[in-house]
Amino acid sequence: MATETSVDYDRTKELTQFDDTKAGVKGLVDAGILNIPKIFVRPAEDLAAEELNSGHKNVEVPIIDVSNIGDSIRRQEIVNEVKIASGEWGFFQVINHGIPLSVLDEMIEGIRLFNEQDLELKKELYSRDSAKKVKFHSNFDLYTSETVDWRDTLQLTFLDSDPDPSQMPSVCRKSTMEYFKHMKKLGETLFELLSEALGLQADHLNSLGYSKGCSIVTHYYPPCPQPELTLGVRKHADAGILTMLLQNHIGGLQVLHNGQWFDIHPTRGGLVINIGDLLQVLSNDKFKSVKHRAISNHIGPRISVACFFSGHASLLDKPFGPIKKLISEANPPHYEEFLLKEYFAKFFSSSLDSKPPIDYYKL
């Protein structure tokens, strides 16, 4: 039996062959494979460590009801819940956020239709070009990561403007445009709550342009014949400011809390919110960006839609660091200032599970 170190296993060749199909992980499933290719199998030491930490199922990530946000007393309670969740978990779910269920359901359905359409139509969008605003691929870090994750991705990036409908895949154009409109509005509301939770004016983060640019990254996780050997997404923290995630009814998302994995169960109509590395920097470590992952499953597809807020494109050349109003003699800055364009260059040139870019700027 060949091992990874043996001469007859050519990992680069296997990666290239997979990439060249432009069919993604779904292409493997459609071909009827019973054993996952070696590039997807996690290292033996990772699989062994997994046995020691199966995760706690009886503790839930905080769920925050944001209805009645206009009531000043209730708003203060919500701000306090956001503050605690952002500092202790780095994750929470929001419910009663005002986005119609139909908008959420149609977004999930649009992504399912995109991934399950004729392969030749998907192939037209297959790309690893970072400059492309709309692209389909499997694993952005395919050639730099230790193992490949069991998922396919449709990525839509709008850092400098609202999306142009003509650039969208026709099969999910209408649902995505509608979803984006609601995400933008809810994003502004969440940035207000986060500003207040930091003791700042409600408009602080929005006025700096942090809710302006965003990208929607959709993942399609087909059923996996050997889910115990691979992951949907490896352990990582998000590089941006804030992430808002919609997931269908098939679970798999887990967050690392106090050294243990906790399941984030899908809540009908709920959205998962998590603090990104850049918001940890802005808050000078008051808010925590924490590691999370998605496990694989025998059943599927699992579909998730992540809206990443990373700031408007105009901010890329401006110094970025802890918010000045949060800095004092008693609370000095934990990070030096840096340029966002250098930060993102570090992130996209490495693999998802490598050293987080913010670690380079810690004081």
SS (H, E, C) 294-323: EECCCCCCEEEEEEEECCCHHHCCCEECCC
Average pLDDT value for residue range 110-118: 98
pLDDT higher than 70, residue 7: no
- Chain segment 128-164, per-residue pLDDT in tens: 998 899 999 999 999 999 999 999 999 998 777 777 8
Calculate the dihedral angle through the C-alpha atoms of 234, 236, 242, 246, rounding to the nearest 10 degrees.
Answer: 20
pLDDT at 1: 41
pLDDT higher than 70, residue 24: yes
pLDDT higher than 90, residue 350: no
Domains of the chain plus CATH, in order, are 11-361 (2.60.120.330)
- Chain segment 316-326, per-residue pLDDT in tens: 899 999 999 99
pLDDT at 157: 86
pLDDT at 57: 61
Q: Which residues touch 173 (CB under 8 Å, ≥6 apart)? A: 165
3-state SS of 173-217 is HHHHHHHHHHHHHHHHHHHHHHHHHCCCCCCHHHHCCCCCCEEEE
Average pLDDT value for residue range 318-338: 95
Q: In the predicted model, what is the mean pLDDT of the chain?
A: 92
What percent of the chain shows pLDDT beyond 70?
95
Nearest to 242 by CA among 114, 358, 108, 86: 86
Q: DSSP alpha helices (H): ranges in the chain? A: 11-21, 24-30, 44-50, 72-88, 101-116, 119-123, 173-197, 204-207, 277-282, 340-349
pLDDT higher than 90, residue 241: yes
Rg (CA), the chain: 20
Q: Are 93 and 66 within 8 A, CB to CB?
A: no
pLDDT at 312: 82
pLDDT at 221: 98
pLDDT at 4: 47
Confidence label for 3 from pLDDT (cuts 50, 70 and 90): very low
pLDDT at 213: 81
pLDDT at 60: 86
Confidence label for 248 from pLDDT (cuts 50, 70 and 90): very high
Other Cβ atoms less than 10 A from the Cβ of 306: the count is 22
pLDDT at 50: 75
pLDDT at 355: 81
pLDDT at 2: 43
pLDDT at 54: 57
Average pLDDT value for residue range 113-123: 97
Q: Identify which has the larger pLDDT, 77 or 1.
A: 77
